[in-house]
């Protein structure tokens, strides 16, 4: 299995919409 680790998640807002069956990323959302 490949794993998208937490170093790559830095500076990206990560959104888990589990009920909607989707994961989102937003640039600039952490500034």
Partner 1 sequence: EGEEAHHYHTLQLTSLLPSSVCNPSALVGNKRSRGSLEVVHKHGPCSTLNEDTVKSLTVEEILTNDQSRVDSIRARLATKTGKKDILGSKATIPAKSGSTIGSGNYIVTVGLGTPAKQLSLIFDTGSDLTWTQCEPCARSCYDQKEPIFAPSKSTTYSNISCTATQCSELTSATGNDPGCSASTCVYGIQYGDQSFSVGFFGKEKLTLTSKDVVNGFFFGCGQNNQGLFGGAAGLLGLGRDRLSIVSQTANKYRKVFSYCLPSRSSSTGYLTFGSSGVGRKVKYTRLSGSSRSFYGLTLTAITVGGTKLPISPTVFQTSGIIIDSGTVITRLPPTAYSALSKAFKAQMKKYPLTRSLSILDTCYDLTNYQTVEIPKISVLWGGNTLVEIAPQGILYANGVSQVCLAFAPNGDDSD
Angle at 28 between CA 16 and CA 20, to 5 degrees: 20
Q: How far is the CB of 28 from partner 1 (least distance, A)?
A: 7
- Collapsing DSSP to helix, strand or coil, 24 comes out as strand
Q: How far is the CB of 29 from partner 1 (least distance, A)?
A: 5
Please give the residues from 2 up to 31 whose contact with partner 1 meets the rule CB under 8 A: 2-31
- Total residues in contact with partner 1, by rule CB under 8 A: 31
Asked whether the beta carbons of 12 and 23 are under 8 A apart, the reply is no
Q: Which residues bind partner 1 (CB under 8 A)?
A: 1-31
């Amino acid at each position: 299995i490949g794993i998208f680790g937490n170093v790559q998640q830095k500076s990206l807002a990560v959104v888990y919409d589990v009920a909607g069956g989707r994961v989102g990323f937003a640039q600039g959302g952490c500034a």
